[in-house]
Structure formats: structure tokens, C-alpha cells
Structure 1
Amino acid sequence: KPKIGKQNQGQLKVDKYSLENEFFKVEINPASGNLVSIYDKKKQCEVLADEGNQLQMLEEDKSKGFSAWNIAYTGKRWPLNKVENIEVIEKGPLRGVIRIRRSFLGDTKLNVFWDAPARDYPSSFFVQDIILYEGLPQIDFVTSIDWWEDNKLLKVAFPVAVKAKYAAYEIPFASILRPTGESNSWEKARFEVPALRWADLSQNDYGVALINNSKHGYDIHANTIRLTLLRSPASDRLKSASVPDPVADRGKHTIRYSLIPHSDNWKEALVYRRAYEFNFSPYIKFTKMQQKGKNGTREESFIKINQ
């Protein structure tokens, strides 16, 4: 990780619709809540090709069976571009946080079950924190969702200014390259693929990685990186279409992911290490000082190494 030295101090700036550190300037569209720009100050280039951090609601065909395994899009989509509120909730020397609130008014629902929203009431709610740190070249996102949808799938999308024939994905004990185009029928059928903590789209001298701590459905087509956040397949609890869980993903969730623009390819940028660090934070323990040091002061060792 980059060190925070004197040359980096005081470069974190936070306004109502923008965050900036020594690496990036992030701008938010006040109407949609999406990122309208991520400017890489080191490489002097724009990271996004279109608005980024788009929350996209996709409809699935409820007639398909074994819905936990089969995804069948109808083609209907709802972009969550209606913002209720944008506010700065943290503006300190080390971290800036902008919070965005949205809600989704889905199709009319009947209040049949205890966990079904009432008629004509927003069916799902979204609170999203966009976070930029001093000295850290990545943009973090913490998305809290109260989700009550049927036959819908939620993705986050980042159209980036990078073009490559293949994207890299983390898989168990390795990585794999998958094409970003659809030149045959079986590539078209892979509209979503499994991955672990990261996926990366890189050209010769530049790339963008999307890392996460709990989600494993990615798709990268052309220059758009998407991650599936939630999915609630069937709404009919009495039919086989709802196998195996008729209330999948209903309820409250907190999801973390991070966008990492970088120079060179994912290997040189140590994307795999950054993803590991994102998933495993340092363990900090506070304890009383027990040992007496010089001049009667108390001392405690924070790190011990056995050689």
C-alpha cells in the first residue's frame, strides 16, 4: 500500500458531489447518484466511459424452474437513477464519505405475506456510501439494502475506458481469462460467470479491477464490468419454480466492493493482494500496559517475531 507521507498530507478534498485525493477525483451526478467521472490524476486520464456505479434492476422470467441455478432475463430493466438525498457524512483528514439514498417502487404487490411491502409503497431501499481515503488508490463502496423483490436481480455496473479481448477473474487457487465478446452461441450463454474476490479488465498499459468481499457473480462484456449484488428468483412459494428457497435474499444486506484503476496489468498492479487485503482487515486489540520500561513508563510490544 502507498505510504502516507508529508507530500501526501492535506490532499483529501470533499464536497457535496465530489471526492478527491492524490490519486483520483470522483464526481457524482446529483440527479442520478451515479459517478459521472473518475479522473486518474497520476495517469491523467478518465477511468469511466459512461456513468459508473449504476445500480441496475433486471427482471427474470418467473416460469423457469430451478431458479436458484437458472437465470432467465426477460429483457426488462429498471435503472435506479432516482435519488432521494445526497449528503456528506464524513469529511476528515484521512477519509471522505458521501451517502446516497434511493428507493425502488416496484410492481404493485399484494400484502399477502408478512414480508411483502404494502400496495403502492416503495418495495426496496438503498443507502450507499462512496468512500475515498487519503493515500489509498481505490474507491470503496458500502451499500446497505432493504430488499423485497420478486423475480428480480440487482447488479452494479461500471463502464470503463478500457478495451480488451479478455478479462481476468479469480477462481479457486488460480485466475482465468474469459472473452469479453460474444463470437459464438456458448459465449452468448455465459452472460454471467463465477469468480471469487476480483475481476479485472486490462489493456496494455492500464486496467480497472472490481473487488468485493461476498459476491461471486460477475460479467464483463465489451468495456462494462458488472457484479451481481442480490437475486430473488421466484415469488410463488408453492410451485417448483421457487426451488430451493422461495424468499431468497429478502431482507437487509450490507455489501462492500471497491473499484481499483491501475497502471499495467492486474499482475503488476497486485490486484490479487489488494483483494485479499480488502477481505481480511487487520485485527486490532486494545490492552492495558503491563510492563514497566525506562524511567518508570509502561511499555507493550505490538508485534513479536519468532525466529
Structure 2
Amino acid sequence: MLSVREISENIEQETLAPWAAKSSQAVRDSEEAADDLRTAFQRDRDRIIHSTPFRKLKHKTQVYLCPGDHYRTRLTHSMEVSQIARTIARALRLNEDLTEAAALGHDLGHTPFGHAGERAINSYTGHFKHNEQSLRVVELYGRKGKGLNLTREVRDAIVNHTGSTMPKTLEGQVVRRCDRIAYLCHDFDDGCKVGIIGPEKLPGIVAMRLGTEPSQILDVLVHNIVELSLNQPQIIIDKYYEEAVEEFRNFMFDYIYCSPQLTVEHNKAEHVVRTLMDLYMESPQLLPREYGELADRFGLKQTVVDFVGGLTDAGAVQLFNKHYIPII
């Protein structure tokens, strides 16, 4: 009698597109006994969701520092990427479980205070990329130091969701596309709520080709990707829309990501992160015991990067206050 997992794997073979990733062919670096209920990609998704780094995302900045209850965090961003990517994957008959796992795990290596924290650690070490740190997190942390032992397909999609290398699977390429679509639309939406920008400031090419509302822009882009990529072994977007997306991104950097309103707070955040890096490099005995023990395995600087990079916004501020602000 077939197990539930085997039935699911057979359904994949019968219903998914020929070029979709099949969970029965997934590979782990350390082989494990198959689960009776879940496919390999479903197990990866569950391991990510139940991991400590995933829970921490709810207290990590997306763009706006401490903006209130109704703005995106790194967690809600990951969930939104997952929803958009799953919609596309299902429409294209790709592996929805692989897509979901990669989307939920793609930002696990993000620092406190979003890209401000990333810049701080990068300036300190000379090289730090959150996508590479996401891969490091899933490979080396969790499950008592054994790492999550995710499939190669999910790990490839996580590390290549940004950067110069494209993911090997179409599912990973969908996540890569949806990450950009999601953060542009939702950061724009939050920027309007904060009052930094409004739809009237959008470049003409963006307003004309994509629209002026985040939901409208998402709808246009998702439909275009599905229409052009359907029954094709590649993920395609019309150049007409891609040009508008690139202009949208340039606009967001000019008006949001590099705006004077945010730069002031981001500079403060970078100072907190750099100061904590200095503190633990000079006084490694202050590291939590489990991280102190890892210094022999990874070296002190890498261990400090892993610890500080894994902090939430609030956790970083609390440690800064503990060591540098007098108690009144």
C-alpha cells in the first residue's frame, strides 16, 4: 500500500509540467529516511517555519524602523512573497511546495534593521550578503547545530534569490521574480502610509504601464508572467513591463530607500550594529555560551557576525542599552 507521501509524489508526476521540480528527485547532502506523510519539499517548508530564525523575522525591519502595527516586517514580506510565488507556480504547474519553502526561507539571514544592518556588517567585515547568510543559517544552525539539512533545490533557490546567479529550478526563478515584485509594491504601499510618497509621484512609465496602486501593479505583473511563461520551460516577463519595473525600482531608491527621512534612522541603526560588533570582538566572553563555543568552530569574527546578524531589532537595541546606556 502506498504511503501518503508516495501518492503525493505520483500526483506530482502526473500533473506538474515536465520541467517542474519533482520532490521524489530531491537531494539532501545528508540522506534521511523518507517521511510517510510529507514530500521532501514539504518537510523543508515545515523545518523553515518551525525554525528560530523564521520566528525572529517578525521583529526584523523590512524598510521602516518601528513604524507601527500595520507595516511590513521581514516576516510579512516573506509570507507575501510566498503567496505571490505560489499563485504563479500553481498557474504554471510548477512545484508549489518547493516554491513555498524557498520563499519562506529566502530572508532567514537578514540582519536587524533590514539593509541598514546588512550595510553595517558589510562595512565591518568587507563582505556580507544576506542571501549568503540565509544559506549559512539553514546549513549550520538549527537542530542542535546540525543545520536544517534542506534539499539542494531549496538551498539553491534561497541563495540565488538575489545576486548574479540564477536559481537552477524554475520554482527558484519564480521566487526571485516575486521577491522584487513584492518588496517594491509593498514598500511603496507602506511609504504612502508613512506619508513619504504618494501615487502622484510615480514616474509616468510606471503609472502608465503598471498602474498607481500596489494591488494593481501586482496584478499586472503576475498576469504577464503567467501568460508569457505558460507551457514554457522558462519564466518570462514582457520587456514592456520589465522596463517599468526597473524604473519603479530606481524611483523607490530615490524616494524611499535613500530618502533623508529614513537615512537618519538607518544611520542610528548602523551605529548600533557596528558598536555591538566591536563589543563582542573585544569581549567575546560576553557572547551567549552557545555562541562562545562556536568560536572554535567558525572563528571569532564569523561567530560574532552570526550572533549580531541574527538579532532582532529590539534585541539589538536592548543589548546596546544594556552595555552602553546607564540605568537611571
TM-score, length of structure 1 as denominator length: 0.29
Q: Which has the larger radius of gyration?
A: 1
Which structure's relative contact order is higher, taking Cα pairs within 8 Å and 6+ residues apart? 2
More strand by share: 1
